[in-house]
A and B are shown apart, each in its own frame.
Chain A
Amino acid sequence: MTRSIIKIKTTLLDHQIAKLSAIAIGLSLIESVLPSPMPGVKPGIANIITLYAMYRFNFKIAMWVGILRVFATSLILGQFLSPTFMLSLTGSVLSLLTLYFAIKLPSKFFSPIGLSVLSSFAHIGGQLFLVRIWLIPHASIYYLIPIYSAAALLFGFINGWITYRLLKHHNSI
Chain B
Amino acid sequence: MKLRTKSFLGDSLIVLISLIFIVFAFKTFWHFETGSVVQVNFQGKTYGNFSLFQDKKISLIGKEGESIIEIKEGRARFALAPCKNQYCVQQGWIHLTGQMLICIPNEVSIEILGKTKAYDSLNY
Contacts and interface: CB of A to CB of B under 8 A. Distances in A.
A172 interface: yes
Contacts of B15: 113-114, 117, 153, 157
Given A114-B10, A153-B19, A172 B1 contact: yes
B7 A109 contact: yes
A116 B86 CA distance: 49
Contacts, number: 79
Interface residues of A, number: 31
B18 A140 contact: no
A96 B11 CA distance: 18
Contacts of A153: 15, 18-19, 22
A107 B11 contact: no
Nearest to A139: B119
Interface of B: 1-3, 5-11, 13-15, 18-19, 21-22, 25-26, 29-30, 119-121, 123-124
24 contacts: A55-B1, A109-B7, A109-B9, A109-B10, A110-B11, A110-B14, A113-B15, A114-B10, A114-B11, A114-B14, A117-B11, A117-B14, A138-B124, A140-B119, A140-B120, A140-B121, A142-B119, A145-B25, A146-B26, A149-B18, A160-B11, A173-B2, A173-B3, A173-B6
